[in-house]
Amino acid sequence: MSEQNGQQSEMAGHIPLIGEKFPAMEVKTTLGAVRLPDDFKGKWIVLFSHPADFTPICTTEFVAFAKRHEEFESTNAQLIGLSVDQLFSHMKWIEWIEDNMHVQVPFPLIADDVGAIANRLGMIHPSRATNTVRAVFIIDPEGKIRLIIYYPQEVGRSVSEILRSLKALQFSDANHVSTPENWPNNEFLGDKVVIPPPRDFKSAMERKKRIGEDCYDWWFCTKKV
């Protein structure tokens, strides 16, 4: 076996991690066939799984995602849902949401009817047969996984937190900074951000001179962007 084939075999059961490329795959969705992540190159992708169609918590989440769809679009992000359900189930559920909750679901839902994609991404709930956990993958415009969140089946997600996290990632990339807890509404720093740590001793000592201004210590300096 060649070294390359050996590496591919070793990675076959590997669940992708933060910082890795999202595995290339072609999927069927409510809006037609899609190649992930290639069809959305240059855009951010927010891929999220839900346990099953026609379930109460998932319905509340989809209403929330649909209502915030334009906000995600304004950040150059594409929402994509997924569950281990057939395409006709997705379409009927979307129809039910529109008829009964008066909200249109404008983003695609992946029909993973045999569970191959959910298994590949580590989304299957360990004690719930084929139900997927409430996973969230944020993928950057180069196809790299930047954030992964897993919620149990019993806990509905905060769409506001997912949108906040997406904006924080984008802001961090654009400004080469880190964002504090609940940025831009941190109770300690407000909307200030944290600058990268110094790379050498001299730079660290220079920062000590700024304690009381924008630094709390040489390893903890902030700025307003």
pLDDT in tens, 102-147: 999 999 999 999 899 999 999 987 766 677 889 999 999 999 999 9
pTM: 0.90
Residue 3 lies in a domain: no
Q: Are residues 94 and 190 in the same domain?
A: no
Same domain (yes/no): 150, 204: no
Given 36, 46, 58, 221, which residue is catalytic? 58
**77 inside domain:** yes
Task: Please tell me what DSSP assigns to residue 21.
Answer: B
Angle between helices 56-67 and 87-101 (to 10 degrees): 70
Q: How many CB atoms lie within 10 A of CB 146?
A: 20
- Rounded CA-CA distance 128/12 in Å is 23
Catalytic annotation present for 221: no
The token pair that represents 42 in the structure block: 């240059």
Domain tally for the chain? 2
When pLDDT is cut at 50, 70 and 90, the band that residue 3 belongs to is: very low
pLDDT in tens, 161-203: 999 999 999 999 999 999 999 999 999 999 999 999 999 999 9
Please tell me whether residues 131 and 82 are part of one structural domain: yes
Q: Residue 183's domain spans which residues? A: 176-225
